[in-house]
Chains A and B, each alone.
Chain A
Amino acid sequence: MRNILKLVVYDNLAYATKRFEKNVYLGSICSILRIASESDFDEILICDPLKELVRNPCLANLMLHNSLIPLSISASYDLTSYHRVLSDGYDKVCIPYEHFMKNRNSITNLIGKFGRQAVSLVIDYEIVNETRLLYSRNSERSHIDILKLDYQNLSDISELVLQNVDRDGALVGLDYKVLEPISIDLNRPIILTGGFAGEPIPSHHKGRNQLSIASSTYFSTSASRSGARVSLLKAVG
């Protein structure tokens, strides 16, 4: 099980978010990357909702050179920008579902050049009347039930990032129930994010190498940093 630190970029700084909105200031991104490079994190997931790293390539490069652990970028960039960040040395790009489906042919080309392992798919969702609906920031509420998506038809992606918007920053625990139908349909790594509070992982998920957890908890919790880190590492085993 991978232990992934999630950082959200706002104003060129790192934040933890609540429902995707800027919430807790974490610090300078480069400082955090240096600390994380000496810790037990497996990867870092950088979320760039405002595409700041496209406008500020110097910061994007500085981040790379300050990290000795894998960096993924989650953002709705144009194809040229995805190509550029991968060429610069970022390990993966995580592409939101709607953006992925709209640009599928171009993204297939991207996969052809960099390999399937370099492209992940992000599914943001919210729970409405106990149904998990695809969440879109830029449009009205979607009526797409994410449990009914055709995951068998997504064989060209390497891994799936499932992000619960309701729980983002709420520290109420991850939505493990979403995993059951999807993990059976899709024999790919799955990253679950949104709400992690250091809770114990259900034992039937803990032993599977399919599941990983992404969270800002290490840097954003109100508990002491060392205590939070210990709880996070224990939780992900």
Chain B
Amino acid sequence: MRVAILPVCTSNFRLIIELLRPFPIEIVDSIQKNSFHTISHLVLPGVSSAAETLATIDMLGIRDSIIGRVSDNSIKVVGICAGFHAMCIRSEECSESAGLGLVPADVVLGATVHPERVWPNVGRRTLDGNDLPKHSARYYYNHNFCVLPSDPTDARFSYSEGICASYVDSAIGVYGYQFHPERSGIIAFRGWIKEIFATS
């Protein structure tokens, strides 16, 4: 298992690298186009914008490789917050660049679809529902834009207080999270690591 964190300069990618180091995961320090095929997991970090994430992907010249390797089922792609937004079809935050299209959803300004709420949506919240252990964890959110699924009945999406919280398609290895698992406390972070990297 070789894990790379996309080096988006305005994101918390260095922090994620440090937080993953104690786990039995091989962290790839840099991403090169010609060795991208050796990476088994790509993490798109948050605390940034989808535009910066997509610009970094295009600068590295790996957009087609990501999409191709997902369709070959040879890589897992994990997006956190802005990284999740970059995985969607399109985003109001970066109208000049299409998203990766790995998640069947658009990204819109939160205040537009949920005007009844205070934005940004910030704080720790549980997931709606109670049928999985992960529903008891309190995850940290801090975002202005939110994911709007193309099909609201798509069971791969989960929600928190009616706002899209995650998209998990383990069959093709696509994982998107609106919340920050790396800022949600030790228990939630370990649970997330286990879900993504199948480690204990």
Interface residues of A (CB under 8 A from B): 1-2, 37-38, 40, 42-43, 64-65, 68-70, 86-89, 91-92, 113-118, 158-159, 187-189, 208-210, 212
> Chain B, interface size: which category?
20 to 34
**CA separation between A117 and B141, bound complex, in Å?**
10
**B118 interface neighbour in A69, A88, A189, Cβ under 8 Å:** A189
Chain B residues in the interface with A (C-beta under 8 A) = 9-10, 12, 14-16, 18-19, 47-49, 52, 82, 117-120, 122-124, 138, 140, 142-144, 180, 182-187, 189
Q: For B182, give its contact among A43, A68, A113 (CB under 8 Å).
A: A68
Query: What are 23 A-B residue pairs whose CB atoms fall within 8 Å in the complex?
Result: A40-B138, A42-B124, A65-B15, A65-B19, A68-B19, A68-B185, A70-B142, A70-B180, A88-B12, A89-B12, A91-B12, A91-B183, A113-B49, A114-B10, A115-B47, A117-B120, A159-B122, A188-B118, A189-B120, A189-B122, A209-B123, A210-B118, A212-B123
Give 11 new A-B contacts, CB below 8 A, not counting A1-B123, A89-B16, A115-B49. A65-B18, A65-B19, A70-B142, A86-B47, A88-B14, A89-B12, A91-B47, A115-B47, A158-B120, A159-B122, A208-B118
Q: Least Cβ distance of B15 to chain A in Å?
A: 3
- Give Cα A114 to B49, complex, Å: 6
B9 near A87 (CB under 8 angstroms)? yes
Q: Is A89's CB under 8 angstroms from B120's CB?
A: no
Secondary structure at chain A's binding surface: helix, strand, loop or mixed?
Answer: loop
Given known A65-B19, A88-B14, A89-B14, contact A116–B185 (CB-CB < 8 A): no
**Quick one: which of A64, A114, A159 contacts B120, CB cutoff 8 A?**
A159
Whether B120 and A116, one on each chain, are in contact in the complex, defined by CB atoms closer than 8 angstroms, is: yes
Which residues of chain A are within 8 angstroms of B186 by Cβ–Cβ distance? 37-38, 68
Residues of chain A within 8 A of B122, CB atoms compared: 2, 117, 158-159, 189
Provide the residues of chain B in CB contact with A2, threshold 8 Å.
122-124
A-B pairs, 3 with minimum CB distance: A89-B15, A89-B12, A117-B120
